[in-house]
Structure 1
């Protein structure tokens, strides 16, 4: 099983996820959106499982600070991907991608119950 956590290190939800994963001895790679970047090739596969509106955080500070014209331009998955590439902080965090031989699971946001459910049933 390969586990990758995507986010920004100083995000409270990312911190909670990293702490939970560490406490439960889950080996995880961390992809820092700010340092490692965000590309359409990174996000597009996620959108095969997730609706773009789940991934785009319209409630956060970064979204609210975007010019209204940029906000209004986000009307579909393609425009949402472009917005997320240009402003990675608008991606709802963390994004946890779990790859097994059988499947790829993607979880957005931190939910201790969901993490527990997934990691205890897959162990």
Structure 2
């Protein structure tokens, strides 16, 4: 079993998720999306698995700096935006065996069920 956690090291939610994973004894690899931005193809797979709306980091500066036209963007336009600026992606994003299974960290028990 292979688990990757995508995010940025200084993100408070990512820090909580990592501390929780370590406390649960769940092995993972952390991937810093600033240093290693995901490819457009990878993002498209994530969007297909989780939906483009759930992946939006609406509290980030990158999102707020987008114009009002973002409200009418298509699925493809969101994938392109995520590929251009990984800070638009909600964090953390959990991938198990190559498949995106969860994003954010509001319900650790739900994530645990998907990871084990």
TM-score normalised by the shorter chain: which range applies?
Answer: 0.7 to 0.9
1:25, distance to aligned residue in structure 2 (A): 1.3
**1:36 aligned to 2:36?**
yes
Please, what TM-score do these two structures have when normalized by structure 2? 0.85
1:50, distance to aligned residue in structure 2 (A): 1.5
In structure 2, the residue matched to 1:84 is 82
1:55, distance to aligned residue in structure 2 (A): 0.7
Distance in 1 between residues matched to 2:114 and 2:51, nearest whole Å: 20
Q: 1:98 aligns with which of 80, 96, 99?
A: 96
In structure 2, the residue matched to 1:72 is 69
Q: Between Structure 1 and Structure 2, how many residues are aligned?
A: 114
Please, what TM-score do these two structures have when normalized by structure 1? 0.81
Q: Secondary structure at the match of 2:13?
A: helix
User: Over alpha carbons, which structure has the higher Rg?
Assistant: 1
Distance in 2 between residues matched to 1:38 and 1:116, nearest whole Å: 24
Q: Secondary structure at the match of 1:45?
A: helix
Which runs of no fewer than 5 residues in structure 1 stay unpaired? Answer: none
1:38, distance to aligned residue in structure 2 (A): 2.4
